């Protein structure tokens, strides 16, 4: 299991989170996680493991979209991806294959222009009205269209992609470290050899961005150093 976006996008470009309440959607909350993914057409969405991608015709709200069905630890999940740059291809994908590139197709909300429907052309996707982003949802089980319309179904079937993927990647990494003899083929190649503490990194970033009033200047400089060290560490790993 690997992340479905490049690590710098995953770590630093998260937008509207899963579950956020003020989002104007039928089930009353944001059913996915958004990532800022500019420039459009350049940020790949990657198969996190082996599975099957099903795509749909162009939609005014979802743009180019589809869902990737995969099996993890004996459970079926569907990863829904929206607003892609171009039409993707249905079929089997192996871990690390590229589904396509993030775009700005479908429903776009900008402060200046309100809601707009963005078409397929590069010009439209890079206009002021477009917001280049990936909206991604993680559904338990087979994908069902009505899940996004009915609150009870959404509550039951849609889970947080960030929390779950970070948990899965870390479980995989610690398993590989503990018993390297276990087949790596089944889950795709893992480059990292150490558990990645996404939570700790996120907390450190938040502290760096919004230092609390109680923190002294000395505390801040320690955090800045830790963040620098983590950044260096991440660079080395790439």
Binding site for Zn ion (CB under 5 A): 32, 34, 135
Give the C-alpha separation, 172 to 73, whole Å: 11
Reading the block at residue 85, the tokens are 């740059």
Closest approach, Cβ 15 to Zn ion, in A, equals: 7
Residue nearer to Zn ion on the CB measure, 51 or 63: 63
Reported in sequence order, the residue ranges of the chain that DSSP labels E, i.e. its strands, are 33-36, 44-46, 51-59, 63-72, 75-84, 91-93, 98-101, 106-110, 114-118, 133-140, 158-159
Residue nearer to Zn ion on the CB measure, 11 or 34: 34
Q: Using CB atoms within 10 Å of the CB of residue 126, give its burial: 0 to 12 exposed, 13 to 18 middle, 19+ buried.
A: middle
Residue nearer to Zn ion on the CB measure, 99 or 188: 99
Closest approach, Cβ 99 to Zn ion, in A, equals: 17
Residue nearer to Zn ion on the CB measure, 24 or 57: 24
Closest approach, Cβ 25 to Zn ion, in A, equals: 9
**Which residues have a Cβ under 8 Å from the Cβ of 100 and sit 6 or more positions away?**
44, 45, 64, 84, 85, 86, 87, 88
Give the C-alpha separation, 145 to 112, whole Å: 31
Reading the block at residue 183, the tokens are 């087949």
Closest approach, Cβ 112 to Zn ion, in A, equals: 19
Reading the block at residue 195, the tokens are 């558990």
Residue nearest to Zn ion according to CB distances in the complex: 135
Closest approach, Cβ 109 to Zn ion, in A, equals: 9
Residue nearer to Zn ion on the CB measure, 32 or 41: 32
């Amino acid at each position: 299991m690997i992340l479905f976006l490049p690590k710098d996008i995953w770590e630093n470009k998260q937008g509207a989170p899963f579950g956020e309440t003020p989002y104007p959607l039928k089930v009353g909350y944001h059913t996915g996680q958004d990532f800022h993914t500019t420039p459009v057409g350049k940020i790949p969405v990657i198969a996190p493991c082996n599975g099957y991608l099903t795509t749909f015709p162009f939609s005014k709200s979802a743009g180019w979209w589809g869902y990737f069905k995969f099996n993890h630890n004996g459970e079926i999940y569907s990863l829904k991806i929206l607003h892609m740059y171009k039409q993707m291809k249905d079929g089997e994908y192996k871990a690390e294959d590229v589904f396509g590139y993030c775009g700005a197709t479908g429903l776009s909300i900008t402060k200046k222009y309100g809601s707009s429907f963005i078409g397929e052309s590069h010009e439209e996707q890079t206009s002021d009205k477009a917001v280049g982003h990936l909206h991604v949802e993680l559904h338990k089980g087979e994908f069902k269209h009505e899940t996004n319309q009915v609150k009870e179904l959404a509550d039951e079937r849609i889970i947080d992609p960030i929390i779950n993927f970070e948990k899965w990647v870390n479980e995989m990494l610690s398993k590989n470290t503990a018993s390297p003899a276990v087949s790596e083929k089944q889950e795709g190649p893992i480059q990292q050899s150490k558990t990645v503490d996404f939570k700790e990194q996120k907390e450190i970033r938040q502290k760096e961005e919004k230092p609390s009033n109680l923190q002294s200047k000395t505390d801040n400089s320690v955090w800045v150093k830790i963040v620098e060290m983590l950044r260096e560490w991440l660079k080395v790993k790439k």
